[in-house]
Amino acid sequence: MDIQRVGVVGCGLMGSGIAEVAAKGGFEVVVREVDDNLLEVGRKRIRKSMDKAVEKEKLTARDRDAAWGRLSFTTAVEDLAGCDIVIEAIVESLDAKSELFGALDRLCGAGTIFASNTSSLPVTDMAAATSRPDRFVGLHFFNPVPVMKLVEVVRTIATSAATFDRAFSFAKALGKVPIAAKDNSGFVVNLLLVPYMLDAIRQLERGVASIEDIDTGMTLGCGYPMGPLTLCDFVGIDTLYRISEIMHEEYHEERYAPPPLLKRVVALGRYGRKTGKGFYDWSGDKPVPLPI
């Protein structure tokens, strides 16, 4: 593997998981956040997840310590200059991502691959903000990253075969199962999963059933590991809203349109499990459905 040093930008839900699996996979990892507070929150999230893995005897304390030693944390984008691959996991906004990749393009060497973990933005639109669209891919991980095996490796019409192969091998080196996807908004999985989650919100709007009953229906009726409204809280209500807007703008199909109830929950700042409230209140031992 010619990739040794990995940059991860954004240490939220996804960036922290990506940094963790990369460090556990033996790579040197530099993690960048916007400020010291958010960096500390992300750093603690990674440490907690690694400690839990040790508790559950999925990782030895020695391997945890070695992986932890391979991680470094920064707020300076310049510290990503020496990376062989930079994986972006910041907010789902084309403007924010394009600005970041433009800055990285000026800093990083010609051999550095750029990868976005976007859920719904076409990768080409970000690659166009750089001078290296041939060395640009999507690497779409799934939440929670340490658990979910899949990575969609997204090839744009400009991605070179060598870059795609390097990114595909890198995903395998992380212990993941990569699949190849074309650069259409939503790739393979979200094209199916996002309308399903939005339809569950529409069911709730129409009063078809309660939050709990919709979730119980899909877990016990179909064997899904969690119900769709729990999954919305898990993904992040703010992130789902942005994904929905982007996919709707791309396809102009009603099934991607953000349901009004989703907008209301976002307006209240109920972003899901990460902020303590979404469709459920997550502050206690068990999630409690909130009145709708």
Task: State the catalytic residues.
Answer: 119, 140, 152, 190
Residue 226 binding partner per list ligand NAD, ligand CAA, none, with a CB distance cut-off of 5 to 8 Å that depends on partner kind:
ligand CAA
Is position 231 an interface residue for ligand CAA (rule: CB under 6 A)?
Answer: yes
Query: Between residues 83 and 137, which has the closer beta carbon with respect to ligand CAA?
Result: 137
Pairing of strands 113-116, 85-88: parallel
Instruction: Give Dmax (Cα) for the chain.
Output: 55
Length of the chain: 292
Q: How far apart are CA 177 and CA 245, in angstroms?
A: 29
Give the helix/strand (H/E) hosting 163: helix 161-173
Residue 225 binding partner per list ligand CAA, ligand NAD, none, with a CB distance cut-off of 5 to 8 Å that depends on partner kind:
ligand CAA
Give the helix/strand (H/E) hosting 260: helix 260-267
Q: Which tokens hold the place of 183? A: 């650069």
Is position 280 an interface residue for ligand CAA (rule: CB under 6 A)?
Answer: no
Residue 148 binding partner per list ligand CAA, ligand NAD, none, with a CB distance cut-off of 5 to 8 Å that depends on partner kind:
ligand CAA
Site string for ligand NAD, 219-248 (x = CB under 6 A): ----------------xx--x---x-----
> Mapping DSSP to helix (H, G, I), strand (E, B) and coil, where does residue 176 land?
coil
Interaction residues for ligand CAA, span 52-81 (CB under 6 A)? 56, 58
Give CA separation, 96 vs 89, 92, 125, 292, in Å.
11, 8, 12, 32
Is position 273 an interface residue for ligand NAD (rule: CB under 6 A)?
Answer: no
Residue 100 binding partner per list ligand NAD, ligand CAA, none, with a CB distance cut-off of 5 to 8 Å that depends on partner kind:
ligand NAD
Query: Between residues 58 and 206, which has the closer beta carbon with respect to ligand CAA?
Result: 58
> Mapping DSSP to helix (H, G, I), strand (E, B) and coil, where does residue 215 land?
helix
Is position 9 an interface residue for ligand NAD (rule: CB under 6 A)?
Answer: yes
Q: How far apart are CA 217 and CA 200, in angstroms?
A: 11
Residue 12 binding partner per list ligand CAA, ligand NAD, none, with a CB distance cut-off of 5 to 8 Å that depends on partner kind:
ligand NAD
Q: How far apart are CA 39 and CA 46, in angstroms?
A: 11
Query: Between residues 75 and 143, which has the closer beta carbon with respect to ligand CAA?
Result: 143
Interacting span for ligand NAD (CB under 6 A) from 10-18, 64-72, 154-162, 208-216: 10-18
Chain position carrying tokens 């999507």: 138
Shortest reach from residue 146's CB to ligand CAA, in Å: 4
The gap from C-alpha 267 to its chain's centroid, in whole angstroms, comes to: 22
Shortest reach from residue 142's CB to ligand CAA, in Å: 4
